Amino acid sequence: MPDYVLAEAERRLLQALNDLGVRYIVVGMSAALMQGARGATDDIDLWFEQLDDPRIGEATRSVGGIWISGSFGMRPPGIGGAVLGDRFDVVVHMHGLGAFTEEFAETHDMQIDDVRLRVLDLERIIVSKRSANRPKDQAQLPALEEALAVKRSLTED
């Protein structure tokens, strides 16, 4: 049996989103870890092109999860339920970055656990973390910058 990074329900949800054609980007520290950065995170951050896309709820329900579309300003959108737990964090704004469409054009297409993912580039993650300027983001910057330096050195060879 292969070792997986993602739990079965997580893989199934991401694949369901792909199968339904939902455009999303894996962002934040989870995206950085997928690109070789050292560190840890408790969740997988997903940035959707359109939060009102009904296919998000369809995909979530298809794996036994719950999609909470949120109510603007009062409650943020979320993905959860007994099957999915609280592993997914729905991102509604990326500090310091352009619009979703601009950033999507610069993502990496990665295969994680046999699921194709669009992952925000490490450089753009660093820009966003710097712009957000939260203490936890500032603490992660050295590891992200180190990973970016290694990535750049590998592409120069």
Q: What CATH number has the domain bearing residue 111? A: 3.30.460.40
Question: What pTM does this model have?
Answer: 0.92
Host domain of residue 146: 8-156
What is the pLDDT at residue 40? Answer: 87
Contacts of 91 (CB under 8 A, 6+ apart): 27, 28, 45, 46, 47
Residue 3 lies in a domain: no
Residue 78 lies in a domain: yes
User: Structurally, how many domains does the chain consist of?
Assistant: 1
Angle of the 54-62 helix axis to the 8-19 helix axis, nearest 10: 140
What is the pLDDT at residue 1? Answer: 47
What is the pLDDT at residue 151? Answer: 85
The residue ranges of the chain whose pLDDT is under 50 are 1
In what helix (H) or strand (E) does residue 122 lie, and over which residues does it extend?
helix 122-132
Residue 32 lies in a domain: yes
Residue 2 lies in a domain: no
Residue 73 lies in a domain: yes
Residue 61 lies in a domain: yes
Residue 115 lies in a domain: yes
Residue 53 lies in a domain: yes
